[in-house]
A and B are shown apart, each in its own frame.
Chain A
Amino acid sequence: MPVSHTYPMSEEISLEEVDLLTSQVLDEAISSDDFARLETLLLNPVYRRRYLDLMLQESLLHWEESKPESLTFEDPIKPRLFPFPIISAVAAIFVAVGGMIFIKFPDILEDFYLSEKEVTFHKSSVDSDKPINPQTHFSASGVDATFLLSNPSASASAYETAEFQAKHGIEALLKNRTFDNKGHISLHPKFSTWSRLEKCGVPSENGVLPLSGSDMFKFSQMVIDVDSQIAEIAETIQVVDLRNLQDSFGEGSATVDAAVLFNQAHGVANDSTEFTLSIHALSCSTENTHESLASSKSTILSDLSPQSWEEVKSEIVLPEKTDFLVLAFSAKKIGPDALIADASHHYADNLNINLSLQSSGVRTVIEIL
């Protein structure tokens, strides 16, 4: 059992200083003078110990963030509240894929050390009602993910989660990462994917059984807008790096079709939920910007039975310069039921994604998921 540390009063004042300087250094808000002061303090073993305590705490706060609504940790005594997958994912993917990379893709390894790209999204004006939306305009710089908006009038905060996830997934793939703490990365000879499906998987709960296998995807809690009585959540599920396949796109020769089934649990909220599956084709136009080239979405209104799953399909023709494909799910409630949407639970299962390539009259279908 580790021992908690107590300190004499004379050291307490400087411990507070260590706390403050450590917090500043972690937030990249420290001056060079204060950094030098922290270095001096760290020569003392008592302060060094406190610094290490704070660093351990900080690393756990960042590391354990994967549960949607709050931090939940693996508890070896009680049953696990959340099947924490990060560690096993990291090593399993790393070991399984790592060897393959070294042997088969030495250029990836080389790029891994060289790549320093950062990702930002530039504002687009996606008309998401059209099944396929050709080239869109980009009017402003800055971080945005309007390409994920199924309804531009909806509360933007409902889409912030999706924005962060998409941004993170693309960045992980651009950097040729082989593992990531927010999603599973899979490398294939022609494409690579970043996926949150396994990380957000839950076994049967609230009267809903997975449609197949032992897990199903669980949506995060909806963001409720009390004034408009709309509750909504959008989540990026999968990012696919298609840059190696780009030569095969153009003139309608490449299409992606996706299908997924949605369900909602019984709860105090007893109205239907509107589920949407959306697919977005993005290009990597410059060093650090992306633009939405096309998107498609399909929506379904669920029934109230947790026993039945409703299927949604969507298809998109990939424009010539497509670099990345982003798949997102959203769930929405409208009316008085939306006000108690935080007591609702929503699920998805059996996601399939296929890429069809037409070349010289021959159609090749690649199963992405």
Chain B
Amino acid sequence: MTKEKFPVEYSRNLTSIQRSLYAYILSLLPNRTDAEDVLQETNLILCQKASEYDPAGHFQGWAFKIARFQVMKQITKNKRSKLHFNNDIVENLTTDDFDPERIRITQKALQYCYEILPEHMRTVAKMRFREEMNLKEISVKIKRPLGSISATLHRIRSNLSKCVQNKMLAYKREAEY
């Protein structure tokens, strides 16, 4: 790759895979703070390695490979302090589910499903996903026990997941029609 091509092609590629990359890292390292740190490190390395990238290659596959390596590094770093998946799981969590088209459709469905969440669930969802409060902070704020918050978040995720599945089936039917 020539230096001149870096800003245009490379940044476009890097831009287009950010959501997929974050989703992939989070699935390997199911802790948001750690996943964000690894995303940063992966992006830095991808910039450093820009000159090594073959434009004829599969950019996302290459980036995911680097991300997986960074995840393994993070797991080794936190081995004693945090729960982490073993190597077999990390190797078996494939990247196929994170293609841009799938993410686009999921996004669209999720937008609809989030809007129709019951009000009390939206309140908790907003605190958890938008304000990034942890369970303890939410529990203090809305004066409910931790277990209840945990259960509500589980129901929110399940509701969204079911709704997204149904919505995606509807999109599929629309496309077929």
* B interface bracket (residues with beta carbon within 8 Å of A): 35 or more
Given contacts A27-B135, A56-B97, A75-B108, contact A62 B15 (CB under 8 A): no
> B105 near A: Cβ within 8 Å?
yes
Bound Cα distance A75, B93 (Å): 28
Which DSSP category, helix, strand, loop or mixed, fits chain B's interface? Answer: helix
Are A28 and B134 CB-contacts (below 8 A) given A60-B19, A95-B47, A102-B47?
Answer: yes
Residue-wise interface mask of A (47-63) relative to B, using a CB-CB cutoff of 8 A (1 in contact, 0 not): 01101111111111111
List residues of chain A with CB within 8 A of the CB of B14.
90-91, 94-95
Given contacts A2-B168, A57-B164, contact A73 B30 (CB under 8 A): no
CB-CB < 8 A to B26: which residues of A?
55, 58-59
Binary CB contact string for chain B from 22 to 43 against chain A (1 if under 8 A, 0 otherwise) = 1100110011100110001101
Q: Which residue of A lies closest to B88 (CB)?
A: A43
Asked if A205 is at the interface (CB within 8 A of a chain B CB), the reply is no
Contact B172 A3, beta carbon cutoff 8 Å? yes
Q: Say yes or no: B23 contacts A60, CB within 8 Å.
A: yes
**Quick check: B83 and A160 within 8 Å, CB to CB?**
no
Which residues in B have their C-beta under 8 angstroms from that of A360? none
Q: How far apart are A145's CB and chain B's nearest CB, in angstroms?
A: 13
B interface footprint on A87-106 (CB within 8 Å = 1, 0 otherwise): 11011101110110010000
List residues of A whose CB falls within 8 A of some B CB: 1-5, 16, 19-20, 22-30, 32, 35, 39, 42-43, 48-49, 51-65, 70-77, 86-88, 90-92, 94-96, 98-99, 102, 109, 112-113, 160-161, 164, 177-179, 181
A-B residue pairs in contact (CB < 8 Å), sample of 26: A1-B171, A2-B102, A22-B30, A29-B135, A43-B92, A49-B97, A51-B93, A52-B93, A53-B97, A59-B19, A59-B26, A60-B110, A61-B125, A62-B32, A63-B19, A71-B114, A72-B111, A75-B108, A86-B18, A90-B15, A91-B11, A94-B11, A95-B6, A95-B10, A95-B11, A161-B131
List 17 additional A-B contacts (Cβ < 8 Å) besides A4-B169, A112-B40. Answer: A19-B158, A23-B153, A24-B154, A27-B134, A29-B135, A43-B89, A56-B23, A57-B161, A57-B164, A58-B157, A60-B110, A62-B132, A71-B129, A71-B130, A75-B108, A91-B12, A95-B14
**Which residues in B have some Cβ–Cβ distance to A below 8 Å?**
6-7, 10-12, 14-16, 18-19, 22-23, 26-27, 30-32, 35-36, 40-41, 43-44, 47-48, 83, 85-86, 88-89, 92-94, 97-98, 101-108, 110-111, 114-115, 122, 125, 128-132, 134-135, 146, 150, 153-154, 157-158, 160-161, 164-166, 168-169, 171-172, 175
